[in-house]
Structure 1
Amino acid sequence: MNSLDPFNDSSILIVDDSRAICEALTAILHDCGVSNVDYCLNGEEAYTRVERDPTAYDALFVDLHMEGMDGLELMHKLNELRYRGGIIVMSALDKKILDFTLEVISNYNLRVLGSAEKPLERTLIAFMVKRIKSYYPTVSRKEKVLKRRELYEAIKNNKVITYFQPKISAVNNTVVGLECLVRLNMGRAGVISPAAFLPVAERFELIESLTDAVLNTALPQFRRFREHTQLDCSLAINISPLQLYNNLLPETLNEYLNRHLVAKRNVIIEITENHAIREESQLKNLNRMRIHGFQLSLDDYGAGFTNLRQLKNLPFNEIKLDAQMINGIHTDKVLRIMVESVRKVTHEMGLNLVAEGISDSKDLMVISDIGVDAYQGYLFCRPKPMDELLRWHANWEKTVRQTKIVNLNDKHA
């Protein structure tokens, strides 16, 4: 992908059999700051281009109704090709056809980022561009990617710090958990985000050392939070799918929990979806985690490689919808259909469903209507160091109590 270079612009391919629509959408994309735009007037040519270079385009705008190879057939072939860019579905068709299309492609390993209904609206296209650019982790111009030695020294010199973001109950607005998020405090260089070092940790086999540092930092602070708030909540700790190759992972995690006096029932292990979980050793250790009594959460669902059919064969307790499935859902019919499908499957399987990345109250209203178990996102609280989180929680509890009093007064009025 061009996005592997964080300073390159996104590259987009439009697939529509109307030249007028292709040219109009190209102009809108240029106005939105995307200079690398190509278009094809049929699905066959689009497939040939992607087959020739699967990394050429960060995203495709695909119309469903085209002469020859239609949009659904194109997406079927892209799935076989294992295309890993984003896909935005364009359509002027009615809801039944769109519903059927989404049901079919929900079983594909495609990254569907949303839909753009015809006639195309400039504001919606601008939003889709933002979604494409935020889909791939990038590093800001102020923040360089660390080298292996720099990351090694940072871990060795105790520069690993942890921030926490609360998970809010969709039933009563109480805090039901915290997610631990890793940062590096590089002194004068400031606090560095994961995008600058997590890929380096995975590439150079420093992910285990990084996780050890996170556990030693996060677990004592979690104990402090529980003691201070008297909440029987959980702590979510992220691990890489690459760590599932480690046969000692359950035992290692047990050692850390015993050392820091944290009960296993209060810990959720989040597996990020940035790599496919398909190899026998990974699946074995995933099941061993459950056998050892750990709760498992599939993080960033919708941004990676797991489809609805595969969910039924994986031992997760919880599914966390990626922000790309949430942001803009109040205006995006496709996203709503996709989330409703996930809700139906998780309900049937008895899994908790968490909507993360909520930053818009309009999106929250739709998610609440669909019905999830918990919320997480900037709309409630940004990731914070523990001292700041404790101050936030005191204010949050006060707000929740006042809301309950108002609701009671309304009932008795």
Structure 2
Amino acid sequence: MAYSNHNYPVALAPEAVFASTPGEPMSSGDRIVLIDDDRVVGEIVSALAKAMGLQCDVTRTPEDFFGRIGSDTSLILLDLVMPEMDGIEILRLLGERNCRARIVLMSGINIRVIETAKKLAQSLGLCVVGHLQKPFPITQLQELLGANVAPEKPAYPQNEQRIAIPDEDLRRAFDHDQFVIYYQPQINIATGIVTGVEALSRWEHPELGLIFPDNFIHRIEALGLMDRFCWITAERALNEVKQFSASNSHLPRLAINISVSSLRDLKFPDILVNLARKYDFPAERIVLEITESGLMEFSLALDVLTRLRMRNFQLSIDDFGTGYSMMKQLQNVPAIELKIDKTFVRHMHDHHADLVMVEKIIEMGHELEMEVIAEGVETEEQYRILREKGCDGVQGFLFSRALPPIEIVRWLESHRAQQVQ
């Protein structure tokens, strides 16, 4: 059997796939396999792995590489540019054999090419955990090896498991007032002060417990109940934030997500004005978050958005960078805030394209005289990068997950006390 047009025997049988699965920590018996035609790189990686107590097999040819791979291979360091067979061909072969090892891509070529190779590997079902652009600092290699020997698990789940829920349960949730609001604080990067809270809906199911919106929002839309759901959410949030802010005489900005259907309703601004008056909640302290997709029906949306701003409500464009809005539309929307989607924040420290997106969104937001908030901030490294790039605000697990009313009150009080000290 041959690799493409090369006559190297394939030593990796289909059943001899890697023992570990993506994301699992390596045990002390697991091995690293490096393939790189540069002898110096091999010596550096081998020496560092040995110093860290890891076993590393250094190979320079595809034949040797596949001959070293076994059931205890857990991490592969793969050079993309080699004289006999390039890394893309090797990735394809690994994908065909359902490789489950974690992979680090290495090369001295343009970073965008490396990232394209990463996307290819992911499309083949491979687990790429990082890249090294030559010449790379030893500390970067050390961090990659260390992270994959004992990777830290996130404090909170990144993706909630999808649950199949009968429509009758969902209708019953409306009738029995089972929807609740959790609040996630938003922090000003320059001062560390809490500027606001975002209201996030949850469903307290009597049998299944707390259910996240990914499991029911699409069904609410399909059942034609979105308007009813949005008004329930808005009224509960206004009431609760007004109540829990009374204890410390501080009313944070309240961010509420509004639906596309609300932007089609010409009565929406007037109804919201009356609701804010009912709870004596200043309109300028209410931030209405809209997604880029909500700007698709632009003429009607612009009517509603303009009248909302004339009534002093604040507007924020949520999940920016993932939707459909055109630059001209963004320029015309009277928003005061852009929110960087968490998918860009999550990998910006090791994915150049994501970092560029974050930089450009911050730059564009500021040029349009908007504040820019980054969602999904989970690490000090992400926080540092955002601060250096001039981002205005952040929210995410680094500070707090979304909390129910009683807990967010305690968190806000504790945070304010720390700021005073």
Q: Structure 1 CA distance, aligned partners of 2:117 and 2:189? A: 32
1:332 aligned to 2:388? no
Matched, 1:365 2:413: no
What is aligned with 2:235? 216
Q: 283-292 vs 206-215, which deviates more?
A: 283-292
State how 1:1-400 maps to structure 2 within 5 Å: 20-26=86-92, 30-31=98-99, 89-90=116-117, 140=161, 143-273=162-292, 277-306=296-325, 308=327, 310-400=329-419
Residue 197 of structure 1 deviates from its aligned partner by 0.8
User: Which whole-Å CA distance do the structure 1 matches of 2:243 and 2:313 have between them?
Assistant: 21
- 278-287 or 290-299: bigger deviation: 278-287
Amino acid paired to 1:260:
Y
User: What is the TM-score with the length of structure 2 in the denominator?
Assistant: 0.65
Q: Deviations over 1:375-404 (max 9, x none)?
A: 1000001000010111112222233333xx
Query: In the TM superposition, what whole-angstrom CA distance separates every residue of 1:332-373 from its partner, at most 9, and x where no partner exists?
Result: 222222222122211111101001110011111000100111
Structure 1 CA distance for aligned equivalents of residues 310 and 330 of structure 2: 18
Tell me how many residue pairs correspond in the alignment.
Answer: 306
Whether the 8 Å CA contact 1:302–1:324 is kept in 2: the answer is no
Structure-2 change in CA distance of 1:296 and 1:208 (3 Å): same
Q: Write the distance in 1 (CA, Å) between the matches of 2:144 and 2:372.
A: 30
Change (3 A) 1:171 1:64: closer
**Aligned residue identity for 2:247:** H
Identity, % of aligned pairs? Answer: 25
Q: Classify 1:347/1:184 alpha carbon distance in 2 versus 1 (closer, same or farther; 3 Å).
A: same
Counterpart CA distance in 1 for 2:311 and 2:94 is: 53
The 2-side partners of 1:150 and 1:292 are apart by 37
- Letter in structure 2 aligned against 1:392: W
User: Distance in 2 between the 1:207 and 1:178 partners?
Assistant: 22
List gaps (5 residues or longer) in structure 1: 1-15, 35-61, 66-70, 72-87, 92-114, 128-136, 403-413
Does the C-alpha gap of structure 1 residues 255 and 17 become closer, same or farther in structure 2, counting only changes over 3 Å? farther
**Shift, 1:151, TM fit:** 1.7
Please give the alpha-carbon distance, in whole angstroms, between the structure 1 residues aligned to 2:223 and 2:131: 40
Between the aligned partners of 1:360 and 1:23, the Cα distance in structure 2 is 35
Aligned residues of 1:346 and 1:353 also touching (Cα < 8 A): yes
CA–CA distance in 2 between the matches of 1:17 and 1:276? 44
Using a 3 Å threshold, how does the CA distance of structure 1 residues 200 and 251 change in structure 2: closer, same or farther?
same
Structure 2 gaps, min length 5: 1-79, 103-109, 119-129, 149-157
Q: Does the C-alpha gap of structure 1 residues 339 and 301 become closer, same or farther in structure 2, counting only changes over 3 Å?
A: same
CA contact (8 A) 1:162 1:183 kept: yes
- Distance in 2 between residues matched to 1:286 and 1:319, nearest whole Å: 15
Greater per-residue helix proportion: 1
State the 1:289 CA deviation.
2.0
User: Take 1:64 and 1:328, find their aligned partners in 2: how far apart are those partners?
Assistant: 14
Task: State how far apart, in whole Å, the 2-side matches of 1:200 and 1:33 are.
Answer: 37
The Cα RMSD (Å) is 3.4
Matches of 2:183 and 2:195, distance apart in 1? 13
User: What letter corresponds to residue 193 of structure 1 in structure 2?
Assistant: F
Contact 1:225–1:390 under 8 Å retained in 2: yes
- Asked if the contact 1:358/1:377 (under 8 Å) is kept, the reply is yes
Deviations 1:202-225 (A, max 9, x none): 222111111121122211111023
* Larger RCO, structure (CA 8 Å, separation 6 or more): 1
Tell me if the contact between 2:331 and 2:368 (Cα under 8 Å) persists in the aligned partners.
yes
| One-letter amino acid of the counterpart of residue 20, structure 1 | D
